[in-house]
Structure 1
Amino acid sequence: MNIPGIDVSKNKLGCVLLTSSAPDKELYKKVPNTPVGFRQLITWSCKKARCESAQIHAVTEATGPYHENAALALYQAGMRISVINPARIKHFAKGIGVKAKNDKKDASVIARSGLMNKPPLWKPEPAEYRELRAMPGRPEALETDIRREKNRLEKIRAGRATETAEASLNRVIIFLREEKKSLRKQVRNHIDNHPNLKKDRSFLESVPGIGPVVSSWMLVLLQGGKRFDAAPKAASYVGLTPTEHQSGSSVLKRPRLSKAGPPVFRAKLYMAAMVAARYNPDAKELYQRLIEKGKAKMPALGAVMRKLVHICFGVIKNQAKYTSQVKNEG
């Protein structure tokens, strides 16, 4: 297999190519992280490997938004491509004894990881989900800006502020509130304009504790039930899986959430879990059972967050509204 390992930065792509004919020989090329650079990388890889693009399995690591255009261009050119968690690459490098770090060495480690581990193939998410992914976070960012400006307003009112400064801050706050309202409307309209998103939203919002904001984030996470093949994998992705730290009899720490995934999902699910622990029959039963067993409130809420992910995955996968699994007494 011909494997180019691609180290991604904001402006450049560093690529080490391992060919099937000479897997121990590393060929290196650096190109711009632009459409022109993508075409150069595809042409160079095919030429050096002496094969068609379909016989190449490119491997890169997730690097914020900077890897996405390159991954999409390689995929559309017919290459197979894998996008790996950077933490896995880091641990792989330690495992094979790599201590130095530069662009070429990083690309080499990525290529070697792909060659040895044969990571799963990546596919681009559908356009409606890709567009939605960029939308829910903007109102939250504006809410942070509004709080910041309100704090500034409070400070100048407590001091000897001028009317000009106070009026300026009030205008900014009004603008930010209107922009936040406009963005929330755009999110709703985007979902309404795509029947699959609209239908999935109705399933998600049938779950007690899941409102319009959390449902938007869950649509991005679950992508119609096609992103993960099991609910535990979705919960693991957002960092809600308990992890142990135990060895022999001397090392024994309490299990805790891995917190390995995007923190924004956990932040939204935490607020949803507080509501669900009171009004969602399944979540309430789980929360009360854990509290009665002596669990602290925070670990119990973590379990409720994980339960909500499982429930959301279930309603999307089964294309059905929420039905409580708790048996009614009497």
Structure 2
Amino acid sequence: MAITKQSIGIDISKTKFTACLCQRLEDGKLTFSKSLDFSNDTKGFNQLLRWAKSIIVAGTELVFLMEATGVYYEHLAHHLYKIKKTVHVVLPNTSKHYFSSLNIKTKTDAVDARILSQFGIERIHKSWAPPPAALLQLRNLTRYYVQLQEQKTALGNIKHSKDCSHDIQNFIIKSNKKLIVEIDKEIAKCLIEIKKLLEADRVLKEKVRKLLTIRGVGLITLATILAETMGFKQFGSVKQLVSYSGYDVVQRESGTSIKGKTRISKKGNRYIRNALYFPAMVACRYNESLKEIYMRINQKKSSKMVGQVAIQRKLLILIYTLWKNDTEFMENYKGSSPDPIIETTQDSSVVELL
């Protein structure tokens, strides 16, 4: 019986990846190969292609599907793209829901690769393409900026503990201060590199200028969000963006006995949530339209963080909307709107559930 589609699912980690081939027959039945392990390097990539060539049916559609697991998938995805293979990179949340729909309880590399290969057959996915070089470089810089800030915070905590301790040697105090000064210098240099990169791309520079009209949102926040979303290229809706960022709402209710608190999942990109924390605090005080929403949400809430997180989510949706529409922020804007803004309006009721 003829093969109508073929998919190789890849479960990838730092040093190796596991691959499995799924083939769909004309009658809809699926057949699977054995799952094999390969090293996550050029040698492993070439072995994967030789193995695939030996078992696939030539002339029939073949796709490679993998999860966006940190940065570990990037080398393989770029390698396959360069040799003109069809690559699908799916968000972990998306594949997780698919696994749940099949009631898969076993968690191994071989099982994951098998189910991912089936996912590539049974669902329609967008073809993956490398992000623009400017955005990829921007992501490297913004992540490094955050990592330097985290190191500075850790050193600041050490300084506090040593200042409050008895009889600490001068060497320790001086060494700690020296490290903090050096990290401050590197943070300043990193910030300069981020600004240079944004200035060098004319289109990106103009779009960022328009987004900076949102009161409370600064350059680093925008650079981080644009870098982590690759200019929102992979997102077709607000819901996808909210889920990717970990701002999707989780409710726990069942009958009359179980009524858990509504919260956000936090199963998403931590760099985006980290970048929006302080801008949301500023917006709650100085952005009149968002301040009104913040006050309304917190009226009957025991914690002000409920409204603060809602504003973070609102700011993210606002940035996405202005980016898609290529427009500036207008404080008292009212009137008919294109689809992205309509989605934002519809989504605002969900924000209040946070």
Please classify the TM superposition score into its range, dividing by the shorter chain length.
0.7 to 0.9
Q: Which amino acid aligns with 1:81?
A: V
Residue 292 (structure 2) aligned to one of 270, 285, 293: 285
The equivalent residue for 1:324 is: 331
Provide the rounded CA distance (Å) in 2 between the counterparts of 1:56 and 1:32.
22
- Give the CA deviation at 1:128: 1.2
Provide the rounded CA distance (Å) in 2 between the counterparts of 1:85 and 1:234.
11
Residue 20 (structure 2) aligned to one of 16, 21, 31: 16
Provide the rounded CA distance (Å) in 1 between the counterparts of 2:141 and 2:94.
29
TM-score normalized by the length of structure 1:
0.87
Q: Report if aligned partners of 1:8, 1:66 keep a CA contact under 8 Å in 2.
A: yes
Q: Report if aligned partners of 1:15, 1:104 keep a CA contact under 8 Å in 2.
A: yes
Q: Which structure 2 residue ranges, 5 or more long, are not aligned?
A: 335-354
Matches for 1:39-188 after TM superposition, within 5 Å: 39-51=46-58, 55-90=61-96, 92-93=98-99, 95-96=101-102, 98-157=104-163, 158-188=165-195
- Give the CA deviation at 1:67: 0.9
Q: Report if aligned partners of 2:8, 2:19 keep a CA contact under 8 Å in 1.
A: yes
CA change 1:123–1:325 in 2 (3 A) is farther
Provide the rounded CA distance (Å) in 2 between the counterparts of 1:232 and 1:110.
23
CA change 1:164–1:268 in 2 (3 A) is same
Runs of 4+ in structure 1 displaced over 6 angstroms? none
Q: Report if aligned partners of 2:142, 2:227 keep a CA contact under 8 Å in 1.
A: no
Q: Secondary structure at the match of 1:24?
A: strand
- Give the CA deviation at 1:93: 4.4
Provide the rounded CA distance (Å) in 2 between the counterparts of 1:243 and 1:159.
47
Q: Secondary structure at the match of 2:64?
A: strand
Query: What is the aligned length?
Result: 325
Q: Report if aligned partners of 2:250, 2:263 keep a CA contact under 8 Å in 1.
A: yes
Provide the rounded CA distance (Å) in 1 between the counterparts of 2:80 and 2:332.
45
TM-score normalized by the length of structure 2:
0.82
Q: Which stretch shifts more, 149-158 or 29-38?
A: 149-158
The equivalent residue for 2:319 is: 312
Q: Secondary structure at the match of 1:135?
A: helix
Residue 257 (structure 2) aligned to one of 250, 254, 261: 250
Q: Report if aligned partners of 1:89, 1:109 keep a CA contact under 8 Å in 2.
A: no
The equivalent residue for 1:7 is: 11
The equivalent residue for 2:351 is: none
Q: Which structure 1 residue ranges, 5 or more long, are not aligned?
A: none
Q: Report if aligned partners of 1:244, 1:254 keep a CA contact under 8 Å in 2.
A: yes
What whole-Å deviation, never above 9, does each CA across 1:171-194 have from its counterpart, x for those lacking one? 222211111111111111111111
Q: Secondary structure at the match of 1:313?
A: helix
Provide the rounded CA distance (Å) in 1 between the counterparts of 2:285 and 2:75.
43
Q: Which amino acid aligns with 2:193?
A: Q
Q: Secondary structure at the match of 1:31?
A: strand
- Give the CA deviation at 1:269: 1.3
Q: Which amino acid aligns with 1:184?
A: L
User: Could you say what the CA RMSD is over the residues aligned between the two structures, in angstroms?
Assistant: 2.5
Q: Report if aligned partners of 2:91, 2:244 keep a CA contact under 8 Å in 1.
A: no
What whole-Å deviation, never above 9, does each CA across 1:296-329 have from its counterpart, x for those lacking one? 52222222122211211122112121112367xx
What whole-Å deviation, never above 9, does each CA across 1:266-319 have from its counterpart, x for those lacking one? 122122111111211321221233234x24522222221222112111221121
What whole-Å deviation, never above 9, does each CA across 1:92-144 have from its counterpart, x for those lacking one? 44554555444333321221232233444333221111111121122222222
Provide the rounded CA distance (Å) in 2 between the counterparts of 1:321 and 1:222.
20
Residue 242 (structure 2) aligned to one of 235, 243, 246: 235
